[in-house]
Amino acid sequence: MEVIEAGDTENLQAVDEETPMDLQGSLPEEFLQYPEPMKMEVITDLEVGNKSRVTEFILIGFGFPVTPFLRIISFILLFLVYILTLTGNILIIALIGTNSHLHTPMYFFLSNLSFLEIWFITSIVPKMMMDTLSERKSISIAACFSQTYFYFFLGTAEFILLAVMSIDRYVAICLPLRYGTILNSRVCLGLVIFCWGGSFVIITFPAIFFFQLSFCGPNIMDHFFCDLAPLLELACSDTRPLKWVNFISASFTLLGSLLITLFSYICIISTILQIPSTGGRRKAFSTCASHLIVVVLIYGSCIFMYVIPSIGVNKMVAILNTVVTPLLNPFIYTLRNEKVKQIMKDTIGRVVVFAGDLMHGGLSLINGYVFPYDDVKAGSWNTYIAILDQFWYKESFAERYKINRKNKCFK
């Protein structure tokens, strides 16, 4: 097996001649004069001929020079966004799972959406964080294929789930008396399984053909992650059949879920307008406003990325789709939902009270063991505990306990 290295000018010249001129002109100088050898295996194929097979891709990112300071700032920002996204979505799943008042179809679907968002951002952002600190933004072809597959698999499942959530809002507002009967636990579980199973079928079938493509150079990708469009541009095989398959599956997924969502909200809006009281209309609309905001964000970003493609705009919109939207979802669903906000306040209050009880009990235990016979020191220690109680609880322990029992904080 022959290996072409950067120092081999004769073989590299042959590879450079196959590079499209428009791609060469759009690359920064640091990628045109790459310091490390780009290794490619030489293969013989009936369709491709004697060409070199790419074993890794080089990600350009956003295509502008970055200083070490900007690398560190970018890493910190991505790390904070990733941690906040994980924390917010895990908090939503925990609240819904532990509170019986949230065991309804709407919150069951919301917990599944949060679970999807956790894995969706995990498929993109950790690699982005590594690339921000690395001079050589490379990714192996196996890792690139895996990232592409999970990105579209999770994204397709999210589109189907958003359509299911719109049906849930339609039944809740247009058929409120039959809501519990239509969307019982068995139906909800079946709809979630349909989201995951439908996404698996829609994405896996084109992926079988995608994994058989040959990549023989160039291996420089004008993106910050392995998206499908730039990957197909680098393929040496005939990609026209795969593009048609992707177009059909994407149209079926996007247009199908969008039509279901639009039809559901047309019925919802017409029903809300028939409510006589202003307060009733406002309350009915507030139950689906959060879902509508998420639908606009996700569908709007995907339309700009795949229907109206533009290289410069695509990267900015991809940041919105892969980083910002998963971060905003927990805040959209919690800040606009009074029920979730009240349960969060009660949960935080219980945690604070529990921490205070632990602190008070620990200090009392220390008092009993450290000053068992010294009344003077024990009295001083009790005074310190009382001051701490006043600072922590704003009232005495006994008074706080009575207030909590009155407000039913303890069950």
Query: Which candidate, 110, 200, 206, places its Cα nearest to that of 155?
Result: 200
Average pLDDT over residues 204-214: 87
* Residue 322 DSSP code: I
Across residues 154-177, what is the average pLDDT? 92
CATH of the domain spanning 68-214+227-336: 1.20.1070.10
Return d(Cα 167, Cα 268) in angstroms, integer. 10
Beta pairing partners, 45: 49
Whether the per-residue pLDDT at 198 is higher than 90: the answer is: yes
Long-range pairs for 125-132: beta carbons < 8 A, 24 or more residues apart: 125/78, 125/81, 125/82, 125/322, 125/323, 126/82, 127/225, 128/78, 128/224, 128/225, 129/75, 129/78, 129/79, 129/82, 131/59, 131/61, 131/224, 132/66, 132/71, 132/74, 132/75, 132/78
Judge contact between 109 and 9, C-beta under 8 A: no
Alpha carbons 90 and 96: distance in angstroms, whole number:
10
Structure tokens at 21: 């001129």
What is the three-class DSSP state of 3?
strand
Residue-level pLDDT at 361: 60
| pLDDT, tens digit, 9 for 90 and up, residues 64-121 | 677 888 889 989 999 999 999 999 999 899 888 888 888 889 899 999 999 999 999 9
pLDDT of residue 37: 39
Strand order across the beta sheet in which 220-221 lies: 138-140, 56-59, 220-221
Task: Give yes or no for residue 42 having a pLDDT over 50.
Answer: no
Nearest Cα neighbor of 184 from 194, 171, 196 is: 171
Helix (H) or strand (E) holding 43: strand 40-45
Region for residue 217 given its phi and psi (left: phi exceeds 0; alpha: psi -120 to 50; beta: otherwise): left
- Helix or strand run (H / E) with residue 300: helix 278-302
Q: DSSP assignment of 227-296, as one string?
A: -HHHHHHH-SS--HHHHHHHHHHHHHHHHHHHHHHHHHHHHHHHHHHT-SSHHHHHHHHHHHHHHHHHHH
Q: Is the dihedral of CA 219, 220, 226, 231 positive or negative?
A: negative
Q: What is the DSSP letter of 177?
A: G
Pair 134, 161: CB distance under 8 Å:
no
169 contacts 337 by C-beta, under 8 angstroms: no
Residues written for the chain: 411
pLDDT of residue 4: 45
So what's the pLDDT on residue 76? 93
The more confident residue out of 163 and 39 is: 163
Among 17-26, 76-85, 144-153, 338-347, which stretch is predicted with the lowest mean pLDDT?
Answer: 17-26
Taking only the tens place, the pLDDT of each residue in 261-302 is 999 989 988 888 888 887 777 877 777 777 888 888 888 877
Choose the weakest-confidence range: 100-104, 305-309, 342-346, 380-384: 380-384
- Mind listing the pLDDT tens digit for each residue in 168-177? 989 988 888 8
- Cis link prior to 35 (omega < 30° from 0)? no
The 10s digit of each residue's pLDDT in 18-40 is: 444 444 444 444 444 444 434 44
User: Is 237 within 8 Å of 47 (Cβ atoms)?
Assistant: yes
How high is the pLDDT of residue 365? 56
Torsion of CA 156, 158, 162, 167, to 10 degrees: 70
For the ranges 113-117, 317-321, 343-347, the one whose mean pLDDT is highest:
113-117
Q: Please check whether residue 124 is in contact with residue 92, taking contact to mean a CB–CB distance below 8 angstroms.
A: no
Q: Are strands 138-140 and 56-59 parallel, antiparallel or unpaired?
A: antiparallel
What's the Cα-to-Cα distance from 342 to each of 39, 44, 100, 172, 345, rounded to whole Å? Answer: 58, 66, 14, 21, 5
pLDDT score of 310: 58
User: Token pair 């998963």 is at which residue?
Assistant: 326
User: Rounded to whole angstroms, how far apart are CA atoms 55 and 331?
Assistant: 41
> Looking at 40-44, 49-53, 312-316, 355-359, which range is the least confident one?
40-44
CB 146 within 8 A of CB 347: no
Using pLDDT thresholds of 50, 70 and 90, give the confidence band for residue 333: confident
